[in-house]
Amino acid sequence: MVELRLQEKQLLSALDTIGGSASVEKLVESCGFSDAAVMRSALSLQEKNFLTIQAATRNIIKLTTEGQSYAKTVLPERKLIQAVIGLGGTTNLDKAARQANLERQFVQIAQGWIIRKKWAAYDSKNNTLTILQDKIPVEGCDETLLKYLREREQIALDDLSKELKDAAEQLKKRKLVTIELKTTRVLRINEEGKKAAVKAMIATPEISKLTPEIIITGKWRQTKFQKYNIEAPVAKTWPGKKHPYLSFLDDVRSKLVQLGFQEMIGTQVETSFFNFDALNEPQDHPAREPTDVFYIKDPKYGSLETHARAVEQVKQTHENGWITGSTGWGTKYSLEVAQRLILRSQGTCLSARTLASSRYGVPSRHFAIARVYRPEITDRTHLSEFNQIEGIIIDETLTLRDLLGVLGKFAMEIAGAEKVRFKPDYFPFTEPSVELSAYKEGYGWIEFGGSGIFRPEVTEPLGVKVPVIAWGLGIDRLFMMHSGINDIRMIFSQDLDWLRKKQVT
């Protein structure tokens, strides 16, 4: 014999009483259960072959907030035509609008619908409206539908006449109603279910909660305790969790700290000095153009007083090479350009600040996960606002081989790459310079960023006398390969299904 829970018995009895068939919404109303409770019991009863669940998709019409206000009163064109009739049948549009108490943004809308509905004619030369009928126009299908919706909250589109369907589409264009697909589930009891419903009516009541009253009065002796089915289907719940990308960043940060790296931090609004000048980028470099950098409008300039010595040495390096062995850029250095404020366009500015501060040891390792900004065209591999992982290692014995080893470890251990490759590149602040790309089955080769050994023109003006290897990689792209997505925009997606199902690793 199949055991039924109390709610299942009540649902069968309600279905049998109604006539053997009813929608979930109707059963919610008759049984007093929540829709989740009705569906939970219905799914269980379907498994026990007492009923069937049939799903039907229908277009449902609902009022918007603006539509609700008109459903309670009248449409703006109705207000305006009533005012025109009240003012004698021919009147100035502005005067009629004031009489109708219409807000300015609704006057043109009301005028347009009056003309479209052929309630009045408009003379643009004199800005007047003249009625085309001697009496107040009869109620239209759009107004009738608004009244229906005011009383019923929602209506199925298929239940309406052709005229009212057309009116619904018209109101949708006016953003007074929404038409959305909704799945309606209908429960149908079968013969076995009817027999079970009869037995349920004479069954001993069940209790699911033991209260002090039941114990004191002894009612527990005459009642039956409800059995719980721990395998019964229930609604999915989605507990809160950290965003997959934030979790990945925390994991990377943790691994680097464990490897002895210290985190570098800094402001997202940076001076051009640290973003460009201190990195040996000439002040007329194309990367400084507004097409590549976001310049701050107010305030335009920042202070470099606390870095006066470094600024002077960078100035001489730009103009004539100073003592670095370089000939410099041969251009006149501008302090005003150096003080210009921007949204940092590269994480390497944090490395420059760290070296200029002298807050480092030899040897030492430093990293930063920095949000940077560039006026990029957004596509599957580019964003105008993205993250870089910046790193430097300061040591007397460093060589290019050390840099390549660090980069390969990053790509394989953090991104899950299968192969890496390096090719020569050029940056004003490193020599030699290397570009890192990594390969993974299904993604092909993806470029991650640049790296190299800081040039003397960078280290010596900032007071550093030992080699420094540096890299700046797109950590967003590392995450793409790590998590199995091929569009960088997905990282900042509001797709709840992806966010819920994405495992935090």
- Of 212, 234, 256, the one marking the end of a domain is 234
Tell me, yes or no, whether 328 lies in a domain: no
Cβ atoms of residues 386 and 474 within 8 Å: yes
Give the CA distances from residue 51 to residues 6, 26, 44, 71, 228, in Å, rounded to whole numbers and listed in that order: 16, 16, 9, 40, 21
**Residue the block writes with tokens 């490193």:** 430
Residues 170 and 81 in one domain: no
Helix-strand-coil percent breakdown of the chain, rounded to 5?
Answer: 45, 25, 35
> What is the reported pLDDT for 315?
95
Average pLDDT over residues 69-96: 89
Number of domains composing the chain:
3
For residue 35, give both structure tokens: 């829709």
SS3 391: strand
Residues near 294 by beta carbon (within 8 Å), at least 6 away in sequence: 342, 343, 345, 373, 374, 375
Tell me, yes or no, whether 312 lies in a domain: no
Pick the more confident residue, 436 or 221.
436
Lowest mean pLDDT among 202-216, 401-415, 470-484: 202-216
For residue 294, give both structure tokens: 């976001």
How many angstroms separate the CA atoms of 352 and 430, rounded?
12
Taking the CA atoms of residue 483, residue 485, residue 489 and residue 492 in that order, the dihedral angle to the nearest 10 degrees is -30
DSSP of 287-322, one letter per residue? Answer: GGSTTT--B-SSS-B---GGGHHHHHHHHHHHHH-T
Cβ atoms of residues 64 and 176 within 8 Å: yes
Q: Could you tell me the residue range of the domain that residue 192 belongs to?
A: 1-61+152-234
Residues 97 and 188 in one domain: no
Tell me, yes or no, whether 122 lies in a domain: yes
Identify which of 3-12, 121-130, 200-209, 293-302 has the greatest average pLDDT: 293-302
pLDDT greater than 70 at residue 115: yes
Residues 409-433 have pLDDT tens digits of: 878 887 788 888 999 999 899 999 9
How many angstroms separate the CA atoms of 45 and 461, rounded?
79
> What is the reported pLDDT for 478?
81
Angle formed at CA 472 by CA 291 and CA 265, multiple of 5 degrees: 95
Residues 253-288 have pLDDT tens digits of: 988 898 888 999 889 999 999 999 999 999 999 889
Q: How would you classify residue 118: left for phi > 0, otherwise alpha for psi between -120 and 50, otherwise beta? A: left
> What is the reported pLDDT for 1?
55
Alpha helices in 73-120 (DSSP H): 76-86, 93-99, 104-116
Whether omega for the bond prior to residue 212 falls within 30 degrees of 0, making it cis, is no
> What is the reported pLDDT for 232?
65
Lowest mean pLDDT among 190-194, 337-341, 450-454: 190-194
Q: What is the CATH number of the domain that holds 433?
A: 3.30.930.10
How many angstroms separate the CA atoms of 429 and 392, rounded?
13
Residues 352 and 222 in one domain: no
**Residue the block writes with tokens 């870095």:** 307
> What is the reported pLDDT for 445?
85
Residues 359 and 461 in one domain: yes
> What is the reported pLDDT for 30?
79
pLDDT greater than 60 at residue 203: no
Residues 77 and 183 in one domain: no
Q: How many angstroms from the chain centroid is the CA of residue 53?
A: 35
Pick the more confident residue, 381 or 66.
66
- Of 214, 234, 254, the one marking the end of a domain is 234
Residues 146-195 have pLDDT tens digits of: 888 888 778 888 888 899 999 999 999 999 999 988 888 888 988 888 88
> What is the reported pLDDT for 200?
65
Residues 226 and 166 in one domain: yes
Tell me, yes or no, whether 43 lies in a domain: yes
Q: Go through the chain and tell me how many residues it has.
A: 505
Q: What is the CA radius of gyration of the chain?
A: 36
How many angstroms separate the CA atoms of 193 and 51, rounded?
6
Cβ atoms of residues 468 and 451 within 8 Å: no
pLDDT greater than 60 at residue 473: yes
Question: What average pLDDT does the chain have?
Answer: 86
Residues 117 and 69 in one domain: yes
Residues 391 and 467 in one domain: yes
Residues 356 and 414 in one domain: yes
Angle formed at CA 413 by CA 407 and CA 418, multiple of 5 degrees: 85
Residues 42 and 177 in one domain: yes
Residues 40-58 have pLDDT tens digits of: 888 888 888 888 888 878 8
Tell me, yes or no, whether 325 lies in a domain: no
**Residue the block writes with tokens 């590549």:** 292
pLDDT greater than 60 at residue 505: no
How many angstroms separate the CA atoms of 244 and 501, rounded?
10
Tell me, yes or no, whether 276 lies in a domain: no
> What is the reported pLDDT for 214?
83
Residues 82 and 56 in one domain: no
Of 453, 426, 443, residue with least CA distance to 480: 443
Tell me, yes or no, whether 291 lies in a domain: no
Residues near 115 by beta carbon (within 8 Å), at least 6 away in sequence: 121, 122
Tell me, yes or no, whether 326 lies in a domain: no
Cβ atoms of residues 343 and 269 within 8 Å: yes
Residues 429 and 362 in one domain: yes
Q: What is the CATH number of the domain that holds 118?
A: 1.10.10.10
- Of 110, 138, 166, the one marking the end of a domain is 138
> What is the reported pLDDT for 47?
87
Containing 212, the helix (H) or strand (E) segment is helix 212-217
